[in-house]
Structure 1
Amino acid sequence: MRRTFWDQLQREVMIEYPAKRIISLVPSQTELLFDLGLNQEIVGVTKFCIHPVAQVNGKTTIGGTKNINLDTIRSLKPDLIIGNKEENQKHQIEELMQEFPVWMSDVNDLDSAKQAIEQIGELVDRAPEAAYLNHLINAGFNDLQTLALRHQIKRSAVYLIWRGPYMAAGKGTFIDHLMALNGIHNVVDTPRYPEVELADLAALRPDLILLSSEPYPFGQKHIQEIQEVLPYTEVRLVDGEMFSWYQGALAVITRKDSKEKETLQKLNHYFSFQEVLSEKIILEEIGVGCQWPIGAIARVKDNQLELNSVLLSKDGEILLQSKEKGSIRDAEAMGRRIGKEIINYI
């Protein structure tokens, strides 16, 4: 069936729906596709697409985000290519558009990131899963902003993405927007990604210098280098994926090995964490992702956690409803009990 969609560049994109052979040209969007429950449909990814590890390892690599291999892409015969305005080269994308359906994202703030998730969900026949991811993102950022306000977090910072020359995330970038949402003022007023000198940054007197893990792999040795020029500024290594990957997890739910886990833990809201934990444990217990027609919602009231879950058929019929109520400390156990109940049913 032929269907027409609009991408974030306001282009009309017609595809065979649902797409069966998808190529992703951006790491964050690759991870999003897997988060939405796709796997066999994804036939090509970039060499920078590293999450989730087990799934991407078996996919064909089509080059980097800036130097995609057009011949490899042609050999895969994709029926949908998903790219990004900022990450991919315009001339290569335009060449692909002559031969294949290409849907492009254009993300520079949280709203456009959530819009991309919603639109990609519709594009790949995973609209309910995308809506659930956006629900988690909304809940997470609401909590982060509330906590930042409560703890009066108001710090100035510079976010460095490159060295030789130094380059910073400036105004109008997704990184700048995320910083502002959480009480961090970006002192770099220049748009996009300007080159900067350490001496000029010293004159701005930021509270923090944040060194991203990507695209430049900043390390411990660079902290000392920078503090020689800015001795009174705190310099920290941060996980670039958590600041710039606009996928389902975004910067709210960190991976177990994330370098930002310790930092974000200081902003962790215990009740909200236990609510989300109990919901996600249900899917973990039964070994599936968001593609299953399962709904779960947890709420803390009067120091008790109430977890409700529903299993639906593909046509929306309620097959099983589950409910657990107990101590907040038992969030994981409650999620696992409901997961086991669902397993026994199916």
Structure 2
Amino acid sequence: MALISDPSGNELFMESPPQRVVSLCPSLTELLFDIGLKDRVVAVSKQCRFPEVRVNETEPVGSNRRPDIKRIMELNPDFVILDARETDEAVVKLLKEEFPVWNSDTSTVLGALEEIRALGRIMDKPANAEWVAAKIETRFAEFQAAFRKPEKVMQVAFLANYKPWTAYGSGTIATELLGYIGLENVFAFESGICALEGKKIPGGAFTPILLAEGAYSFHKRHEPVVNRKFPGSPVYLVREDLLTWHGSRLLRAPAYLAELHDLLFP
């Protein structure tokens, strides 16, 4: 029996590597498949999108916010992975009463690397996880060595959704990644994914707004809606997965950060 701790500090007792995993966390669903666990992932949330072929072959159990608890119970997993910032508190509490639950509240690249390696050890795939983590380290090091930050910081708001209106604040990997290219999150004084109802965008009407583009967030058609709610602010659709996911998708983040910099600092 091994005592392990997830990124939130929650302690779990594991007798052996998990064999029936339910993952409600999209970024870690991709990681599980990438390190060779396709035969052990029994269900995923509808927000899980990558790798597309594997996800489409795996049973969906509803949204990561409010999954199908009854079906999860029937599947009888020996390990559940979620991000409590994205799952209702009551759901997290109920799942913890029934199963070992890994709560991924990673908010930095360093924390993500530690989590990738930890999950590799737990799943008995340490070499595969180490390859992913080491590759991420290398790509970020190369990016930082070659990239020249702009002399002046640009303040931006990064919106997560519009039903309800929310934005990324501190304690999210998005805030750190934006900082790599000289972008300062104006909602960094808020914690996690924060509600925007009744609030103005800090910095005034002309603060650039980034919209998290994804299957369950923003699309091109939402730009006029955002323009009406926040008139005067330039609006940019950005890749949700490459700015907010903290698993193996971080392999692609440095290249995307360079693209985003060129878009915002022409």
**Is contact 1:85-1:106 (8 Å) kept?**
yes
Amino acid at match of 1:30: T
User: How far does the alpha carbon of each residue in 1:171-229 deviate from its partner, in whole angstroms, 9 at most, with x for none?
Assistant: 332211111122212233431324167964562643x3211114522315515852896
Q: TM-score w.r.t. structure 1 length?
A: 0.66
Worse-matched range after superposition: 160-169 or 10-19 = 160-169
Offset, 1:27? 1.0
**Is contact 1:19-1:79 (8 Å) kept?**
yes
Distance 1:17 1:153, change over 3 A: farther
Distance 2:174 2:160 in 1: 10
Q: How does 1:199-238 map to 2 (within 5 A)?
A: 200-201=201-202, 203=204, 205-206=206-207, 208-214=208-214, 215-220=216-221, 222=223, 226=227, 230-231=231-232, 233-238=233-238
Offset, 1:90? 2.6
**Is contact 2:149-2:182 (8 Å) kept?**
no
Bigger Rg, structure 1 or 2: 1
Partner of 1:114: 113
Q: How does 1:159-198 map to 2 (within 5 A)?
A: 159-163=158-162, 166-192=165-191, 193-195=194-196
Distance 1:227 1:89 in 2: 30
**Is contact 1:84-1:104 (8 Å) kept?**
yes
Partner of 1:70: 69
Distance 1:204 1:3, change over 3 A: same
Identical amino acids, percent of aligned pairs = 26
Amino acid at match of 1:241: D
User: How far does the alpha carbon of each residue in 1:99-120 deviate from its partner, in whole angstroms, 9 at most, with x for none?
Assistant: 2222222212222222211111
Distance 1:36 1:157 in 2: 35
**Is contact 1:22-1:80 (8 Å) kept?**
yes
Offset, 1:42? 0.7
Distance 2:226 2:4 in 1: 49
Offset, 1:154? 3.8
**Structure of higher RCO (CA pairs closer than 8 Å, 6+ residues apart):** 2
Q: TM-score w.r.t. structure 2 length?
A: 0.84
**SS at structure 1 position matched to 2:57:** coil
**Is contact 1:158-1:187 (8 Å) kept?**
yes
User: How far does the alpha carbon of each residue in 1:52-102 deviate from its partner, in whole angstroms, 9 at most, with x for none?
Assistant: 111111212122111122221121121211222212223222222222222
Partner of 2:156: 157
Distance 2:164 2:94 in 1: 31
The CA RMSD measured in Å over matched residues stands at 2.9
**Is contact 2:27-2:246 (8 Å) kept?**
yes
Offset, 1:242? 0.8
Offset, 1:240? 0.6
**Is contact 1:133-1:248 (8 Å) kept?**
yes
**Is contact 2:181-2:257 (8 Å) kept?**
no
Worse-matched range after superposition: 173-182 or 25-34 = 173-182
**SS at structure 2 position matched to 1:144:** helix
Distance 1:145 1:220, change over 3 A: farther
Distance 1:11 1:53, change over 3 A: same
Distance 1:199 1:40 in 2: 47
Distance 1:142 1:223 in 2: 38
Partner of 1:339: none
Distance 1:10 1:187 in 2: 28
**Is contact 1:212-1:237 (8 Å) kept?**
yes
Unpaired segments ≥5 residues, structure 1: 268-346
Offset, 1:156? 2.5
Partner of 1:50: 49
Distance 2:259 2:96 in 1: 42
